[in-house]
Amino acid sequence: MDADVKPSDFLTTAEELIESEGGRPRQTNLWRACSSIYYALFHTLCATSAKMLIGQQQTKRAWNHVYRSVDHKDAKDNCRRPDMIKRFPPAIQDFALMFSQMQEKRHRADYDPDHRLTKSEVETDIQAARAAMSAFHRVPAKHRRAFAAYIILGKPRS
């Protein structure tokens, strides 16, 4: 990801999409905002994985390889495994829950033409994602590193 683009920029985009002059935002803006919230969480996970497993972008090729290794479906499935997620600190558990919930919301927003959102619902999700991302970043690196390895590699074999 371009060094000038941060995962939190997706939340800013979501906020901009739901601002409307003199009325309610269009459903398409609410849907796109929902998608942007999910991508803020997704790119947080990608960037954290690359940083925790490779380090800063000294070896750009390896960093990008890890960044691009986060799979949407696998990440959601791994975030929904209570037997594994309960091993992580509460802030990571909260992030995992928010990630999986927002992926489901994004799918509804992107693929269900009858799905309706409200501005207040999207505003709540923006604030919840911002709080989850902030708390996630405050977790000690060793836990974020273990979570990154788990998200990319899955449950260890017994």
pLDDT digits (tens, 9 = 90+) for 117-133: 999 999 999 999 999 99
Would you state the pLDDT for residue 20? 75
Cα within 13 Å of Cα(16), Cβ side: 7
Full residue range of the structural domain in which residue 34 is found: 7-153
- The answer to the question of residue 15 being in a domain is yes
pLDDT in tens, 13-34: 999 999 976 678 999 999 999 9
Instruction: Check: CB of residue 73 under 8 Å from CB of residue 61.
Output: no
- The answer to the question of residue 18 being in a domain is yes
- The answer to the question of residue 63 being in a domain is yes
- The answer to the question of residue 48 being in a domain is yes
- The answer to the question of residue 158 being in a domain is no
Q: Report the domain count for the chain.
A: 1
- The answer to the question of residue 141 being in a domain is yes
- The answer to the question of residue 102 being in a domain is yes
Q: For the chain, which residues score pLDDT lower than 50?
A: 2
Would you state the pLDDT for residue 2? 47
CA distance 55 to 51: 4
Would you state the pLDDT for residue 91? 98
Would you state the pLDDT for residue 21? 67
- The answer to the question of residue 1 being in a domain is no
Instruction: Check: CB of residue 43 under 8 Å from CB of residue 2.
Output: no
